[in-house]
Chain A
Amino acid sequence: DQQVKQNSPSLSVQEGRISILNCDYTNSMFDYFLWYKKYPAEGPTFLISISSIKDKNEDGRFTVFLNKSAKHLSLHIVPSQPGDSAVYFCAALRGSYDKVIFGPGTSLSVIP
């Protein structure tokens, strides 16, 4: 039973446009969320995070939005660049010292 879901296995976006990657979770106890990016033949790298006390966190071209009532978060990339092409993993945890649960990932392709 997946507690963190990313229902779109893949997404294609034109360079310069907005990329929106979605993530849903089932465990209402999750209170911290992270996004990781993974290039082929490399390990995932941390991208951005958000605490449940916020509904938005921004870092340059990357913004994460959290809708607690819907148990949904999204990652916006504006503008999208070809170098953003990667697999994006949504992750969640409960409390300060719990384990991180990852979603299955969404493969983003940014077309030049």
Chain B
Amino acid sequence: DAGVIQSPRHEVTEMGQEVTLRCKPISGHNSLFWYRQTMMRGLELLIYFNNNVPIDDSGMPEDRFSAKMPNASFSTLKIQPSEPRDSAVYFCASSLILGRAEAFFGQGTRLTVV
């Protein structure tokens, strides 16, 4: 398996634009997580899904952020409109089940909003 695949690897966009980050989890994994890494806050959990259903989105910072998982092999994280403070590395991870199972992370998307 190729692991968790995220695209794009890098994204530079202007403030106010819509940004869509994409993730393909490992086949057979039932849980998917979106994290954001910043210097100040480390790795923050934004939202996670189990069997394609959003379970907890309490980490999503604002209504400008939304995430979907239309099927077991694809998820998106959208920011609309984007702001400079959204600049960070966004990671997608998947695991076989929720909880104690090891999570496998993608390589991340480095987002820069100018």
Residues of A within 8 A of B (CB): 6, 32, 34, 41-46, 49, 89, 93, 95-105
Contact of B56 (CB < 8 Å), options: A32, A46, A89, A99: A99
**B100–A43 contact, CB under 8 A?**
no
Q: Inside 8 A of B60's CB, which chain A residues have their CB?
A: none
Contact pattern, B 20-42, Cβ under 8 Å of A = 1, otherwise 0: 00000000000001010000011
The answer to whether A44 and B45 have CB atoms under 8 Å apart is no
- Complexed CA–CA distance, A45 and B4 (Å): 12
Number of A-B residue pairs, CB cutoff 8 Å, is 62
Complex Cα gap A42–B98 (Å): 23
Contact A93 B99 (CB under 8 A): yes
11 extra interface residue pairs, beta carbon distance < 8 Å, beyond A93-B100, A99-B45, A100-B45:
A43-B93, A44-B105, A45-B105, A93-B99, A95-B99, A98-B99, A99-B98, A102-B42, A103-B43, A104-B41, A104-B42
Selected contact of A96 from candidates B43, B93, B100, B104, CB within 8 Å: B100
What are the 8 closest A-B residue pairs judged by CB atoms, nearest first?
A43-B105, A104-B42, A102-B43, A46-B102, A97-B99, A97-B98, A96-B99, A44-B105
Q: Are the CB atoms of A49 and B45 closer together than 8 Å? A: no
Q: Which B positions have Cβ atoms within 8 angstroms of A?
A: 4, 33, 35, 41-45, 48, 55-56, 91, 93, 97-100, 102-108
* Residues of chain B contacted by A101 (CB below 8 angstroms): 45
Interface residues of A, dominant DSSP: loop
Instruction: Decide if B43 touches A105 in the complex (CB within 8 Å).
Output: yes
Chain B residue at minimum C-beta to C-beta distance from A90:
B42
Inter-subunit contact B107/A42 (CB<8 Å): yes
Residues of A within 8 A of B108 (CB): 41-43
Cβ of A83 to closest chain B Cβ, rounded Å: 19
Q: Are B43 and A44 in contact (CB under 8 A)?
A: yes
When distances are taken between beta carbons in the complex, the residues of chain B under 8 Å from A100 are: 33, 45, 99, 103
Contacts of B97 in A (CB 8 A): 97
Interchain nearest-CB distance for B60 vs A (Å): 13
Q: Is the CB of B100 within 8 A of A32?
A: yes
